[in-house]
Every structure is written in structure tokens, then in C-alpha cells.
Amino acid sequence: MAISISNVIVNSSAPPGTVIGVLTSWDASGNVVPCTYTLTKGSAGYFAVSGSKLVTAWSAPAVPGYYSVRIQAIGTTTRFSGSARLPTMW
């Protein structure tokens, strides 16, 4: 399983709820797998998941830099789960 995101760059002054990118999960054959996404520990409190979108969740502008995002995906139509660490930068 692989989890990808369409974008990893966001402006540090973006308001809470700003979409950073869309999450997609793939199986070993390269097929998209519908999933429910959640953040796991270690995502620094700067991010949230809304459906299949990674969004900003900070209450004040973030310090520019690189932040680790840990996401878990659980298949909605298939027994499937996995996680990924996505580097996000401002």
C-alpha cells in the first residue's frame, strides 16, 4: 500500500482549514483504494484531515520549515490499512 498527496507546500500564513493537498491510497497493483484517513501521533498539531484532504489546523502562523505528517489509511471497501509519513514544507 502507498499513500500519496497531491501537494506538500503551503503558505505559513494560510488560515486554518486551508487545503494543502488531496490524499490517495494505492494497492500493490496500482489501483486506487477508497480509504478513511486519520492523523496519527507525531503530526505536530498543525494539520487535520477532512475527508481525503490534508488541511491546516494551526491557530497562529506557523514557522516556515519542514513538518512531518503521519497519516493512517483504512480501506472502506477492502480490508486494507497502512500509514505514511509525508514531509510538508512551507
Mean pLDDT over 8-27 rounds to: 90
Tell me the pLDDT tens digit for each residue of 56-67.
998 887 788 888
CATH number at residue 44: 2.60.40.60
What pLDDT band is residue 82 in, cutting at 50, 70 and 90?
low
What is the domain count for the chain?
1
Q: What is the mean pLDDT of the chain?
A: 83
Pairwise CA distance, residues 60 & 71, whole Å: 23
Q: What is the span of the domain harbouring residue 81? A: 2-89
DSSP class per residue in 48-71: EEETTEEEE--SSPPPSSEEEEEE
Find all residues with CB under 8 Å of 68, minimum gap 6, and list them: 42, 43, 44, 85, 86, 87, 88
